[in-house]
Chains A and B, each alone.
Chain A
Amino acid sequence: MLIKPAPDIPSSEITDKKLFLNRREFLAAAGVTAAGVLAASASPEAKGAPHGRLLMNVAHDFPKPDEKINSWEDITSYNNFYEFGVDKDDPERNAQKFKTQPWTVTIDGECNKKGAMNLEDVLKGETLQQRIYRHRCVEAWSMVIPWVGFPLANLIKRLEPTSKAKYVEFTSLADSKQMIGVREPILAWPYKEGLRMDEAMHPLTLMVVGLYDEVLPNQDGAPLRLAVPWKYGFKHIKSIVKIKFVEKQPLNTWQEQASNEYGFYANVNPTVDHPRWSQATERRIGEFFRRKTLMFNGYGDQVASLYSGMDLRKNY
């Protein structure tokens, strides 16, 4: 992974002005020490961006939605990441010292490339790209987020799944030493999620390593998380330590917690209400009036065919 202060970040159009000006100020100062920062870029202490470390060579050609993007502050201070506490501001507070280097991902199950991969191997050969996705939480709020990552399909192809691999199961880290929430049996730790193979291979499904062209902040699921923009946020598993190819549909944590409320598919669907939240509308963070929630979160053109013939009322 290439990390250093980039001299040319074409992100002024997506960053709010104050932030952008801060970044320019920083870049002026960074010119002097760029070499030093580059040398230290492998260490988590390396600085080089308004908040953390810049990611290098991020492609910006993915089509952008015509919507206002949420600020860095919104995206990094309002998180559901129960491993670091159940309140929205807990992850920001409790994940600051979380160690994401070194990071190992275990590859297991029905594939030819079983074993341990470090993060650098996961990223090897991938071109990072910015993807500005709508993010819809099952709690009926939403944001627009400029993720940085690469298609999960690329990684899956490298892992050579066998014909028995029908689903992919992901597991989050559950380290009670570092993660204060894991000390309580709030959920059945470790957190697990799953995708059907065709969902995992879909070009929209993103392995995320960054935000606003910077290294992903800890509270957002560093160093490696999913973004599956047509599904509710709880499917977007964070801090992934294991990827397993399986034949049978895996049991995801929230389904295990309350199967009448959370299903396996969890596709954004305004016509199927959660027992406690109407899913017909949503509050976009920063807005007063609620928006109409779109089928498949507005990605129906790309993904609806995955579910043709399925009863989405039953497979919620």
Chain B
Amino acid sequence: MRILKVAVFIAALGPLSWLVWAALTGNLSANPLSDITNETGVWTLRFVCITLAITPVRRLTGWNGIIRFRRMIGLYAFFYGTLHFLTYVIVDRFAGLDFPDGIVAWSTVVNLAKSVSADIYKRPFITVGFAAWLTMVPLAITSTAGWIRRLGGRAWNRLHRLIYATGVIAVLHYWWLVKADVSRPLTYGAVVLVLLGARVLWARRKSSAHVAQAFRPAERM
């Protein structure tokens, strides 16, 4: 199990390693900054989908051990999401600033904060993209064993259902940024829909099983 965990850890660094290698060797397009933005974004969405797939896979296969990968994969989703957000802040916002007092100046920090917040406010697909990233922040913070203990399993579980929102909002972010061909966001949307739909279905069955059980004594009467 330990070896498998290390293998997954290294594999999850693959997209980043490839991106760094491609950027350094000129294997990205003529607009490498745009490629880095797009790739980190798509990989965030993929890791969110993998995180959401763990519970359904566990249920379908009965492989309970898979749950041990969930935190790591989820944290990778946050890792790529943060890279994506930082790329946007640097490439899209910082690179477009005026530097009246030079680059290393307090005014740069202020102007960058203004530029980012104004953009998040103004452009809907940026608003939802930022919201998707925000939903992952508390999940990443409370991902430790200490936080599970502190919150208690029930509250912790409830809090971590926020990842469902992450999935939906991230798809929306992708959908709204595409110009014409929505087939890719549609594909991710379908994946998220199936993964969340499975949960709804199971929750319903469970509750109807409870109901059935509750009624059984009454039937005997």
Residues of A within 8 A of B (CB): 70, 73-74, 77-78, 82, 86, 88-89, 139, 141, 184, 186-187, 257, 273, 275-276, 278, 280-281, 283, 285-286, 288-290
Contacts and interface: CB of A to CB of B under 8 A. Distances in A.
Interface string B24-50: 000001110110000000000000000
Shortest beta-carbon contacts, A-B, top 3: A78-B30, A290-B96, A74-B30
B149 to A, nearest CB: 44
Contact of B95 (A74, A78, A285, A289): A289
B31 A86 contact: no
B174 interface: no
A215 B31 CA distance: 24
B96 A187 contact: no
A70 B181 CA distance: 28
Interface in B116-154: 119, 122-125
Contacts, number: 52
Contact of A73 (B30, B34, B119, B179): B30
28 contacts: A70-B30, A73-B30, A77-B30, A78-B30, A86-B180, A88-B31, A89-B29, A139-B179, A141-B31, A141-B34, A184-B181, A184-B183, A186-B181, A187-B180, A257-B180, A275-B123, A276-B123, A276-B125, A276-B176, A278-B119, A280-B96, A281-B96, A283-B31, A283-B34, A286-B30, A288-B95, A289-B96, A290-B96
Given A276-B125, A283-B95, 6 more contacts: A88-B30, A89-B29, A184-B183, A187-B180, A278-B122, A289-B95
B192 to A, nearest CB: 22
A82 B183 CA distance: 14
A52 to B, nearest CB: 19
B20 interface: no
Contacts of B113: none
A89 B122 CA distance: 30
B198 interface: no
B180 A78 contact: no
Interface residues of B, number: 18
Interface of B: 29-31, 33-34, 95-96, 119, 122-125, 176-177, 179-181, 183
B188 to A, nearest CB: 16
B29 A78 contact: yes
Nearest to A143: B30
A70 to B, nearest CB: 8
A292 to B, nearest CB: 9
A74 B30 CA distance: 5
A281 B95 CA distance: 10
B30 A285 contact: yes
A124 B97 CA distance: 49
A283 B179 CA distance: 18
Contacts of B181: 82, 86, 184, 186
Contacts of A86: 179-181
Given A278-B119, A289-B95, A290-B96, A186 B31 contact: no
Contacts of A276: 123-125, 176-177
Contacts of A70: 30
B180 A186 contact: yes
A234 to B, nearest CB: 10
